């Protein structure tokens, strides 16, 4: 039976797929050899279907796969892989539980060995097997990939509200036509989620537009305040979106990294350190100390000092929306692993 192979990009690096005319046989990460060296490069209905469904999985719009599978293994391995297929999206089980589901709780070691030989990772989700104490154990593709997959599924299941579109409500059509859409033409996820309350979204946008577009602070100062606020609030979405905007404002990657350390980063100028200090005081105490107020008023107008407070206040509220509703990152927005695993 002729085998066809195709390599595709993914958030986990290149994936090499192998399929017969009737089923998908392998998915290999970069650096892993396929078990079918005779396979020829090409495409097929099975591969096209697998590629499309994997893209949907990585985009967060697919939780179950519907692809004919033909993994090659021993009868025991095939029975183990069948158990793995039954682990739900976002669910994790231990090796002991996997063995119990197989029918013999004493075979957890043999089950672990079979997991390591799984030829169809992601689709046969062996990344969902963890240690009995909750620890993350080995993964043939590498631990970073296992962490990414578990975090990705946790993020998708954490979304508490749908992303609404213009067709869902006439009021949203009017709002989204005013520049709230991303490169795809759909609304950015934050606006789509806040679109679950169109009247609130409309009124909030007036203030949000002032803070982002009419601010009396320089774009650089504004973005440093927003980044520090996003970091303080543990908001992956806010941080990622404003990393992109900060770069457009001329803020370097080294400075973006320094924001994580706040005023303690030794590389800051006195002015930038003052901004970090102001953002931290407003976050921790909801007020500026006399020292910080005096320092700000010595370099800023009254309007600018008020915009410092408005910027941190607005983006603190935005972080509350984002964190509470579980808004997912938009495509192309950089993620920050440290915020992925920070406990709220």
Active site residues: 126
| Residue whose C-alpha is closest to residue 91's, from 165, 40, 156 | 156
**Bridge partner residues of 29 (DSSP):** 15
| Residue whose C-alpha is closest to residue 14's, from 31, 37, 36 | 31
What's the length of the chain? Answer: 344
Give the whole-angstrom CA distance, residue 310 versus residue 316: 10
Contacts of 105 (CB under 8 A, 6+ apart): 96, 99
Contacts of 131 (CB under 8 A, 6+ apart): 94, 95, 137
Q: How far is CA 164 from the centre of its chain?
A: 19
| Residue whose C-alpha is closest to residue 13's, from 52, 54, 64, 43 | 54
| Residue 222 burial (CB count, 10 A) | 24
| Residue whose C-alpha is closest to residue 296's, from 283, 312, 278, 284 | 278
Q: Token pair 């774009």 is at which residue?
A: 219
Give the whole-angstrom CA distance, residue 35 versus residue 39: 9
| Residue whose C-alpha is closest to residue 118's, from 80, 151, 145, 90 | 80
| Residue 303 burial (CB count, 10 A) | 11
């Amino acid at each position: 039976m002729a085998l066809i192979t195709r390599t595709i990009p993914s958030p986990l690096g290149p994936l090499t797929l192998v399929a017969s005319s009737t089923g998908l046989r392998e998915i290999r990460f970069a650096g892993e050899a396929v078990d079918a060296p005779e396979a020829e490069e090409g495409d097929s209905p099975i591969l096209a279907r697998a590629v499309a469904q994997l893209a949907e999985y990585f985009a967060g719009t697919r939780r179950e796969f519907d692809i004919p599978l033909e993994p090659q293994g021993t009868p025991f391995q095939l029975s183990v892989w069948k158990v793995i297929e039954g682990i739900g999206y976002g669910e994790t089980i231990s090796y002991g539980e996997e063995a119990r589901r197989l029918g013999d709780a004493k075979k957890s070691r043999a089950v672990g060995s079979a997991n390591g030989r799984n030829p169809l990772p992601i689709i046969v989700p062996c990344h969902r097997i963890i240690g009995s104490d909750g620890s993350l154990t080995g993964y043939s593709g590498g631990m970073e990939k296992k962490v990414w997959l578990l975090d990705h599924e946790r993020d998708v299941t954490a979304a508490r509200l749908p992303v609404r579109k213009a067709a869902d409500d006439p009021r949203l059509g009017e709002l989204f036509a005013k520049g709230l859409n991303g490169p795809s033409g759909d609304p950015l996820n934050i606006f789509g989620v806040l679109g679950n309350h169109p009247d609130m979204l409309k009124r909030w946008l007036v203030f949000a537009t002032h803070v982002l577009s009419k601010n009396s602070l320089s774009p650089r100062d504004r973005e440093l305040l927003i980044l520090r606020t996003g970091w303080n609030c543990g908001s992956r979405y806010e941080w990622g979106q404003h990393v992109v905007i900060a770069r457009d404002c001329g803020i370097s990657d080294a400075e973006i990294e320094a924001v994580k350390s706040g005023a303690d980063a030794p590389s800051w100028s006195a002015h930038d350190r003052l901004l970090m200090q102001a953002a931290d005081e407003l976050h921790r105490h909801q007020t500026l100390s006399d020292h910080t107020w005096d320092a700000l008023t010595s370099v800023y107008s009254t309007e600018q000092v008020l915009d410092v407070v408005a910027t941190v206040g607005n983006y603190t509220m935005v972080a509350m929306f984002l964190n509470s509703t579980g808004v997912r990152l938009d495509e192309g927005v950089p993620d920050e692993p440290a915020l992925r695993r920070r406990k709220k």
